[in-house]
Structure 1
Amino acid sequence: MTTTPRTAISTVTPAPPHPPARGAGLLVGLRVFTARSLKHSFRDGESLLMAILLPVLLMLIFTYVLGGAMDVGEGGDAAGAREAYLAFVLPAVALIAAGFGASYTSVVVSNDMTTGFMNRLRTMPFPSVTVLLGHAASSMVRNLLATAVVLLVGFAVGFRTDASVPQFLGAVGIIAVWILVITCVFAMLGMVAGSAEAATGYGFILLFLPYISSGFARVETMPAWLRPIAEHQPMTPVIDSSRALLNGRAPGSELWVGMLWCAGLMLLAVWLIAVIFPRKVART
């Protein structure tokens, strides 16, 4: 009689795969979600184009339609006044371009928070916060690109600077700091907004700040009731300090005032994100 040998059945269960270390997961998630956000940005070419085109058109309209009649303290004929006004208005336009680009962040963050994407993220080995970090990194890339386009168009239409290389890089650095700050603020607004449309509405309120600052006219020429608002808001010292550096002048106290504004807004936005974001994710 032939007996069939029995095969021993192992009761040892395989060890589950080890999740990536927290630091590695954060870095991988940052890379993944930055690439995702950039891909969506460039796929939505109309929004990206408008974020760059509108500030450029604004600069050209103000320079060629109003520049000859605007007195920014440089004197000269209409052509000289126009050239002086271009140098005056260019930093404000660069910051407006940053604002338009950063407002897109509020929309995409709101979409992620309200369309179930955060719930799907639970199955991925990445911290949830990497979604916001990816949007922030993508916004920096988009808005630095928009700033470069604005500056190049400014040079193309007659802007000339006496700034040294460190001064020019300092002006770009101030703009980059503002891009980071406004991106965090818009990300926070997108997180608390109930829809992408509401996020867009909140963003438009912030986009009006440059128009009631020293960006397009000297503060001392404004009505008495408007002057305190223009003087005591973050855009005025940021614009004044970047304007001084772009035109080869040393910034005064407005540089430190602007950086204090940036630090305060950044801390407020990050604190609100740290408090609200985990609760929003837990509810999805």
Structure 2
Amino acid sequence: MSTMAYTTDPPATSALSRRRAGLVRSTGTVTRRALLRYVRTPQLIVMATLQMSMFFLIYRYLFGGAIHIAGMPYVDFLVPGFIATGVLFSGIGAAVATAEDVHEGFVDRLRSLPIPRSSVLTARAIADTAILTLASAVTIAIAYAVGFRLHGSALDGLAAFGLVVLFGFAFEWVFVTMGLFAGNGQAAQGMGMIVFPFAFISSAYIPVATMPSWLRVFAEHQPLTYMVDSVRALTLGPHAEALLGHPTSFFLTRALIWTIAIFAVFLPVAVAKYRRG
């Protein structure tokens, strides 16, 4: 007589697996809904990509003849900074879209469904990061057409682009949080203007060393400068250390610490606000 042994997953493990599967499914569904909104309204995609490219060309030709960077054309200095700061300007759209979802009652409908709370917000962040990635890729292609050249290796260039996407995803949580607190698109757009000083008081468009000493203190230590210079260090290759005064690892470490800090602060705040309504 033989006996058969049956093994079953512990209840806690099984429940955890189901929760993870539910999180992935619901995140994918809401992400698809957000992306379909762009597909069905192609003007949104066109505006996102053209706006970023248009501003790049303005900076390229408006400041290109006035600002001189030792050892390289201004366009090579500008592109990493412009692409990195693009995460802020494109993020305002995420704040507005989130606020409109709240105002139109879409968020209330999602709250009534048996899906993980974080999946709704994660989906919004993923969808808008995808649009940022597309806009950045188009801008880089245009940058190559007007004189930009990569001084590092192709692998360094891919790593720099990956960092921009990571930074963008982190900052999307800042803007999603703004949208939840704003309540309507107009207010969210106004709140988004808060980020402009971070873009301009940084190393994105001019060397920090040229700023007044009292302004330089903020510019040198704010998160966007570390993010810009980490991308710049990868794209400039051997020129980076001479220009920036530190090895690539110096900027990468600090940029990643700031990225983790942004996730740690804004992700739980956004989820808590979403739960409270």
Compute the TM-score of the two structures, normalised by the length of structure 2. 0.84
Distance 1:95 1:204 in 2: 17
Work out whether residues 238 and 255 of structure 1, in 8 Å CA contact, stay in contact via their aligned partners in 2: yes
1:51–1:100 Cα contact (<8 Å) kept: no
1 CA distance for matches of 2:202 and 2:154?
Answer: 27
Specify the code of the residue in structure 1 equivalent to 2:254: V
Partner of 2:148: 159
Q: Which has the larger radius of gyration?
A: 1
Alignment partner, residue 3 of structure 2: none
Q: Is the 8 A contact 1:55 1:93 kept in 2?
A: no
What is the CA distance between 1:123 and its match in structure 2? 5.0
CA deviation after TM superposition for structure 1 residue 251, in Å: 1.2
- Does residue 1:56 correspond to 2:45, yes or no? no
Identity level (%): 32
Counterpart for residue 22 of structure 1: 19
Deviation at 1:106, TM superposition (A): 1.1
- 2:244 corresponds in structure 1 to none
1:126 alignment partner, SS class = coil
Give 1 or 2: higher helix fraction.
2
1:266 aligns with 2:260: no
Deviations 1:11-69 (A, max 9, x none): xxxxxxxxx94333322211211111011123343343333223322222222232122
Question: C-alpha separation between the residues in 2 aligned to 1:209 and 1:43?
Answer: 33
- Show the counterpart of 1:205: 194
Dislocated runs of 4+, deviation >6 Å:
none
* Equivalent pair of 2:179/2:185 in contact (CA under 8 Å): yes
Cα contact 2:95–2:177 (8 A) shared by 1? yes
Q: Secondary structure at the match of 2:156?
A: helix
Q: Is the Cα contact below 8 Å between 1:91 and 1:215 reproduced in 2?
A: yes
1:113 aligns with 2:113: no
Asked if 1 retains the 8 angstrom alpha-carbon contact of 2:52 and 2:135, the reply is: no
From 261, 266, 273, the equivalent of 1:276 is 273
Number of residue pairs the alignment of both structures matches: 253
Match of 2:217 in 1: 228
Once the two structures are TM-superposed, the CA of residue 120 in structure 1 deviates from its matched residue by 2.1
Closer/same/farther in 2, CA of residues 168 and 108 from structure 1, 3 Å limit: same
1:1-284 correspondence to structure 2 within 5 Å: 21-74=18-71, 84-122=73-111, 124-249=113-238, 251-280=248-277
Moved more, 246-255 or 259-268: 246-255
CA distance in structure 2 between the partners assigned to 1:52 and 1:60 by the alignment: 13
1:153, CA displacement in angstroms? 0.8
User: Could you tell me which amino acid in structure 1 is paired with residue 54 of structure 2?
Assistant: L
> Retained in 2: the 8 A contact 1:58–1:93?
no
Aligned mates of 1:100, 1:242 — CA distance in 2 = 17
When normalised by structure 1's length, the TM-score is: 0.82
Query: Deviation at 1:144?
Result: 0.8
